[in-house]
């Protein structure tokens, strides 16, 4: 019996070895006009944020250009230690363009990119200065302006005179959100006061909730949160108050946070969300690489005009036609340059 | 004065999970087992609670509190299950308590995220619709000052914490069982010589601490968050241990330490609006609760420095 088992195991090993050989011998490497690789950060491919968005951008490009599914793939990092080996593996596999979504990749890209000078790399939402890396950035102040318009119109309709802003940490990229928001609010009614607070980190939902409570108590009608996981607390507080019949709102960021704000009656406490479309940025970079025009060493800034940022109208009950019209009007003016949104908050 | 009441209500929100997890730590440490795995047990409890609430919600009438009740119970049970590992390693295998605790913390993060991935196909639970919300207690809230502080706009979980605290005080300090439990944390060999089963006592204590820490995790996610994420607990388990030490391994001291910590954290949020304090950079106030905790630990360090046998590996033959 034992002998039989051994033979079976050996047979299985030989067969699998053969199978490996046969697949290797198939010539399919050269069929790809472009080979695209994605390495996710620890958030995973379905994070409903940058990883997923980037992957959707790759899929959209593949569909438009009838790219065979063998020409693009992703590797999911399970820890920070995976970034360097995974990026290198993609490089060894002969990928033409490798995309790394998020600031977690800064160090690993600086290490790996010089080893593959002929490969194009893209970092999403941060800057890596290497000759073969493009930094895909977002003009966050522009969608922030639009949600500011929505916030102010909603507040005005309810007779409120204050709106709020809760940021994660007070540095330039996050302050740009505040700047855009403030300008958007002021464009509707300069007398509306914008309360602002910074959590101090991006993880403390309890502090986010406490700040939301503080601002709502001070009379804020709607709060725009740009605080990552800490921002969950802002949405939680808005939910709690709406559930009790109070008329207040939260505004989401980066992705559509409509479902995070769902209440027991099926409506949502999230008025709208300011979006960053990682997919649009990724697709643009791939198109440039495919055309041989990859702008290595520079930054590509996604704007309303390029379709890389935007806002949501998922909450159709709350985002009434006049608000959407005002947002669209403002968006058109930003696109044609009539309005230039600043990045320093005018407090 | 209104601002002060607002701040206090927030301080109680933050203090509640610290208090409940800290009481768990009290059971464990009083029996002689150091439990730095409170953080991990809270994490698993928070995940199980938030996950179950999301799953159950569609099966109950909208707004029903039942999913939350089931969620908290499951969270507590999952914390208890995780604590079995810590208990077995520390008591049976005679592992170093700190090393076992660290391992359980690492395991808890991995397990909860992995389970999220398998069950919900993402690294967090989906958002639940009904969270625990603040209540005002009729009549009692009209008492001047006390009513405003403790009975107006307070999470019901705070009262749950107070009930558990009183029960803990009674069990640990007023019953023969509690006396035996405490003796195991001071001089287990002497307890054994009097016929107390040290191993059994320590198992009961560690499992209780897991149950309470799991409950604290559920309370935290249901009263402060919209979903479970990897950052949902962010260090509260360790703060609970600090509060336990600060409170001299005493339930009432622990309550004071928890509220102190919550209030220090809230002060950091309001300080921007208090003109004479606003000259300091915001980072100063972010660090304030931790700095104050360290200072308080030094200032209030007195005679009792915790159960003598806590952290010591039990050796029945040692004299």
Domain-ending residue, one of A121, A138, A155: A138
Instruction: Check pLDDT > 70 for residue A16.
Output: no
Domain-ending residue, one of A116, A138, A160: A138
A47 touches chain B (CB under 8 A): yes
B195 touches chain A (CB under 8 A): no
User: Looking at the structure, do residues A134 and A159 belong to the same domain, yes or no?
Assistant: no
Is residue A80 included in any domain, yes or no? yes
- Give the torsion through C-alpha atoms of B185, B186, B189, B193, to 10 deg: -100
Cα B273 to Cα B267: distance, rounded to the nearest angstrom: 10
In contact, A208 and A227? CB cutoff 8 Å = yes
Length of chain A: 347
Closest CA to B71 of B214, B218, B208: B218
Assign residue A254 the CATH number of its domain: 3.40.50.2300
Is residue A330 included in any domain, yes or no? yes
Q: For residue A339, count other CB atoms closer than 10 A to its CB.
A: 16
CA distances (Å), origin A216, targets A2, A147, A200, A276, A312: 73, 18, 19, 27, 23
Q: What is the pLDDT of residue A7?
A: 56
Is residue A280 included in any domain, yes or no? no
Cα A272 to Cα A223: distance, rounded to the nearest angstrom: 11
Mean pLDDT taken over chain A:
89
Task: Give A23's pLDDT tier (boundaries 50, 70, 90).
Answer: very low
Q: Complex ipTM, two decimals? A: 0.91
Is residue A301 included in any domain, yes or no? no
CA distances (Å), origin A148, targets A165, A231, A330: 10, 17, 11
Report CB contact under 8 Å: A240, B63.
no
Is residue A262 included in any domain, yes or no? yes
A80 touches chain B (CB under 8 A): no
User: Looking at the structure, do residues A119 and A133 belong to the same domain, yes or no?
Assistant: yes
Structural domain that includes position A59: 31-138
Q: For residue B191, count other CB atoms closer than 10 A to its CB.
A: 22
- Is residue A275 within a helix (H) or strand (E), and if so which, with residue range? strand A270-276
User: Looking at the structure, do residues A98 and A153 belong to the same domain, yes or no?
Assistant: no
Q: What is the pLDDT of residue B286?
A: 77
3-state secondary structure of A74: strand
User: Looking at the structure, do residues A54 and A96 belong to the same domain, yes or no?
Assistant: yes
Query: What is the Cα B260 distance to its own chain's centre?
Result: 15
B136 touches chain A (CB under 8 A): no
User: Looking at the structure, do residues A61 and A127 belong to the same domain, yes or no?
Assistant: yes
Question: For residue range A225-253, what is the model confidence (pLDDT) as tens digits?
Answer: 999 889 999 999 999 999 999 999 999 99
Report CB contact under 8 Å: A263, B129.
yes
User: Looking at the structure, do residues A182 and A329 belong to the same domain, yes or no?
Assistant: yes
Instruction: Check pLDDT > 50 for residue A17.
Output: no
Q: DSSP readout, A319-331?
A: S-HHHHHHHHHHH
Domain-ending residue, one of A96, A116, A138: A138
Length of chain B: 319
In contact, B279 and B40? CB cutoff 8 Å = no
Task: Give A191's pLDDT tier (boundaries 50, 70, 90).
Answer: very high
User: Looking at the structure, do residues A257 and A327 belong to the same domain, yes or no?
Assistant: yes
Task: Give A65's pLDDT tier (boundaries 50, 70, 90).
Answer: very high
Q: What is the pLDDT of residue A77?
A: 85
Give chain B positions within 8 Å (CB) of A262. Answer: 127, 129
Is residue A10 included in any domain, yes or no? no
Q: What is the pLDDT of residue A3?
A: 59
Give chain B positions within 8 Å (CB) of A197. Answer: 269, 272
Is residue A302 included in any domain, yes or no? no
In contact, B217 and B75? CB cutoff 8 Å = yes
Total tally of structural domains belonging to chain A: 2
User: Looking at the structure, do residues A130 and A145 belong to the same domain, yes or no?
Assistant: no
User: Looking at the structure, do residues A249 and A102 belong to the same domain, yes or no?
Assistant: no
Q: What is the pLDDT of residue A5?
A: 55
Instruction: Check pLDDT > 60 for residue A10.
Output: no
User: Looking at the structure, do residues A96 and A177 belong to the same domain, yes or no?
Assistant: no
Q: What is the pLDDT of residue B303?
A: 65
Task: Give A18's pLDDT tier (boundaries 50, 70, 90).
Answer: very low
Is residue A52 included in any domain, yes or no? yes
Q: Which domains does chain B have, with CATH numbers?
A: 2-299 (1.10.3470)
User: Looking at the structure, do residues A251 and A177 belong to the same domain, yes or no?
Assistant: yes
Task: Give A11's pLDDT tier (boundaries 50, 70, 90).
Answer: low
Cα B38 to Cα A66: distance, rounded to the nearest angstrom: 53
Q: What is the pLDDT of residue B1?
A: 66
Cα B83 to Cα B41: distance, rounded to the nearest angstrom: 7
Give me the residues of chain B with pLDDT under 70, please: 1, 301-304, 319
Mutate to test the interface with B, among A47, A52, A264, A268 (most CBs of B within 10 A): A264
B101 token code pair? 């605790």
CA distances (Å), origin B192, targets A191, A336, B34, B288, B309: 75, 83, 20, 45, 13
- Is residue B75 within a helix (H) or strand (E), and if so which, with residue range? helix B66-87
């Amino acid at each position: 019996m034992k002998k039989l088992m051994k033979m079976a195991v050996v047979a299985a090993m030989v067969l699998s070895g053969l199978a490996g050989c046969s697949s290797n011998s198939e010539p399919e490497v050269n069929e790809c006009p472009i080979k695209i690789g994605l390495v996710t950060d620890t958030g995973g491919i379905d994070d409903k944020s940058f990883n997923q968005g980037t992957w959707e951008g790759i899929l959209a490009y593949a569909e438009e250009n009838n790219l065979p599914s063998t020409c693009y793939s992703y590797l999911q990092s399970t820890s920070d230690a995976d970034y360097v080996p995974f990026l290198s593996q993609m490089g060894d596999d002969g990928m033409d363009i490798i995309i790394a979504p998020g600031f977690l990749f800064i160090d690993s890209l600086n290490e790996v990119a010089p080893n593959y000078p002929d490969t194009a790399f893209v970092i999403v939402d941060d800057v890596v200065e290497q000759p073969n890396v493009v930094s895909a950035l977002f003009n966050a102040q522009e969608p922030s302006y639009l949600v500011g318009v929505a916030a102010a119109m909603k507040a005005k309709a309810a007779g409120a005179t204050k709106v709020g802003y809760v940021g994660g940490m007070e540095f330039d990229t996050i302050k740009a959100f505040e700047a855009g928001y403030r300008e958007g609010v002021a464009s509707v009614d300069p007398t509306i006061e914008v309360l602002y607070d910074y959590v101090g980190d991006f993880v403390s939902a309890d502090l986010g909730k406490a700040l939301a409570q503080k601002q709502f108590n001070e009379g804020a009608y709607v709060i725009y949160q740009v605080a990552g996981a800490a921002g969950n607390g802002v949405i939680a507080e808005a939910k709690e108050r709406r559930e009790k019949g109070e008329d207040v709102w939260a505004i989401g960021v980066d992705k559509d946070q409509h479902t995070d704000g769902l209440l027991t009656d099926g409506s949502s406490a999230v008025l709208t969300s300011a979006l960053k479309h990682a997919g649009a940025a990724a697709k643009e970079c791939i198109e440039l690489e495919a055309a041989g025009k990859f702008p290595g060493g520079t930054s590509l800034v996604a704007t309303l005009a390029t379709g890389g940022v935007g806002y949501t109208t998922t909450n159709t009950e709350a985002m009434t036609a006049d608000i959407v019209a005002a947002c669209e009007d403002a968006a058109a003016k930003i696109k044609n340059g009539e309005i230039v949104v600043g990045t320093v908050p005018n407090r | 004065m209104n601002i002060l009441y607002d701040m206090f209500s927030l301080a109680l929100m933050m203090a509640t999970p610290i208090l409940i997890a800290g009481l768990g730590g009290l059971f464990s440490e009083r029996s002689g087992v150091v439990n730095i795995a409170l953080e991990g047990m809270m994490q698993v409890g928070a995940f199980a609670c938030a996950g179950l609430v999301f799953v159950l919600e569609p099966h109950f009438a909208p707004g029903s509190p039942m999913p939350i009740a089931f969620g908290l119970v499951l969270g507590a049970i999952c914390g208890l299950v995780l604590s079995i590992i810590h208990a077995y390693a520390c008591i049976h295998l005679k592992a170093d308590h700190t090393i076992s605790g660290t391992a359980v913390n690492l395991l808890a993060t991995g397990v909860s995220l992995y389970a999220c991935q398998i069950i919900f196909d993402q690294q967090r639970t989906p958002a639940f619709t009904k969270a625990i919300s603040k209540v005002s207690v009729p009549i009692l809230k009209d008492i001047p000052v006390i009513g405003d502080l403790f009975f107006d706009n307070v999470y019901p979980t705070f009262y749950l914490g107070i009930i558990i605290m009183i029960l803990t005080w009674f069990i640990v300090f007023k019953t023969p069982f509690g006396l035996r439990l405490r003796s195991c944390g001071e001089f287990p060999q002497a307890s054994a010589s009097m016929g107390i089963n040290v191993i059994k006592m320590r198992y009961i204590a560690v499992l209780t601490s897991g149950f309470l820490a799991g409950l604290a995790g559920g309370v935290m996610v249901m009263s402060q968050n919209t979903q479970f994420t990897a950052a949902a607990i962010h260090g509260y388990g360790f703060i609970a241990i600090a509060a336990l030490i600060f409170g001299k391994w005493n339930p009432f001291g622990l309550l004071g330490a928890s509220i102190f910590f919550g209030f220090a954290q809230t002060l950091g949020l309001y300080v921007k609006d208090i003109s004479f304090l606003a000259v300091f950079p915001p980072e100063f106030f972010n660090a304030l609760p931790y700095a104050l905790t360290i200072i308080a630990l030094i200032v209030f360090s007195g005679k009792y420095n915790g159960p003598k046998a806590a952290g010591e590996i039990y050796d029945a033959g040692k004299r």
